[in-house]
Amino acid sequence: MADKRKPNSADDRPQESDRQFLERSNVGSCMKDVLGKIIANRPEDPIAFMADYFDSLEEQTSLVARARQLIIMTHHSRPVFDINVRMAYETLQKSKCSKKLHGVNGTVYNELIRALCRDFPTLVINRLLRRIECLDFEAVTYDVFKSGVFTCCVLEDYLRLVEYLFNSLDFTKTGKCDKAVCDAVLEQLKTSLASNKTDARKIVESGYNLGPDGLFHVLDKAMKRDTHVSTAFTLEMFTAECCEAFIAKVKKLR
């Protein structure tokens, strides 16, 4: 008597075309989406961009995670960044504020800001939040949302440059810099950041002060002083001082 088996193995299933397989597994849709984002954002490393995209599919368990992924897809200097920020805002508008209301409130906005700054030093995050965080219950407009997001992205670049500058000042490669040298650079930085952006002459002066010639001049003067009793700066200390100058320029929401 013939053995009757149910077709539950892969070999027993009806053969499907390649197109049917891609549609069933949603692979085609994902590939189309990521390729479209690569063309729109034109990242420097498309392969790494794709890897981050597919990694984020597993992490996107919340609206905030999806909004963050949209924001970090491209650098803030590119025109498409504004489009991505708008899409992130629209994504968060699906957040549930109450039983009948949806939208972007302070709770969701603050959570996104913390997600964007999650790799920043804790001290820097706390200082920044004191300037740009919103009250949990208040409605967050798009202009406020965009300003906060942009500030986080610019600060991320700034922190990277601060670390590079510290490593350049660490002549002995011990993870510590001479305090007199750091103080000289910090004074130059604070003076430049304090300049009035509407004054063309001040803008030129600031550019010079933070350029190679300007920094060389202050470093040369600092190193000629007697610094044998000077204490040392760590990267954490130097970063805190540099970020204090930056955050002081950020407009406070309240």
Quote the CA–CA distance of 79 and 66 in Å, as a whole number. Answer: 20
What is the domain range of residue 120? 43-158
7: in domain: no
151 and 179 belong to one structural domain: no
Helix (H) or strand (E) run with residue 132 in it: helix 122-132
1: in domain: no
79: in domain: yes
72: in domain: yes
47 and 137 belong to one structural domain: yes
Please give the average per-residue pLDDT across 146-150, as a whole number.
95
Mind listing the pLDDT tens digit for each residue in 226-240?
555 557 889 999 999
Domain's final residue, options 158, 179, 210: 158
Q: In terms of pLDDT, which residue wins out, 223 or 34? A: 34
Please choose, from the candidates 138, 132, 168, 122, the residue with its C-alpha nearest in 3D space to the C-alpha of residue 153: 132
Q: Are 123 and 240 in contact (CB under 8 A)?
A: yes
What Å distances lie between residue 136 and 104, 111, 252, CA to CA? Answer: 10, 10, 16
- Number of independent structural domains in the chain: 2
151 and 52 belong to one structural domain: yes
Quote the CA–CA distance of 158 and 245 in Å, as a whole number. Answer: 11
Domain's final residue, options 158, 180, 202: 158
Percent of the chain scoring above 70 in pLDDT: 76
Categorize the per-residue pLDDT at 9 as very low, low, confident or very high, splitting at 50, 70 and 90: very low
What are 215's strand-pairing partners?
none
DSSP letters, 165-203, are: HHHHH-TT-SSEEEHHHHHHHHHHHHHHHTS-TT-HHHH
Domain's final residue, options 105, 131, 158: 158
Mind listing the pLDDT tens digit for each residue in 58-86?
544 588 988 999 999 999 999 999 999 99
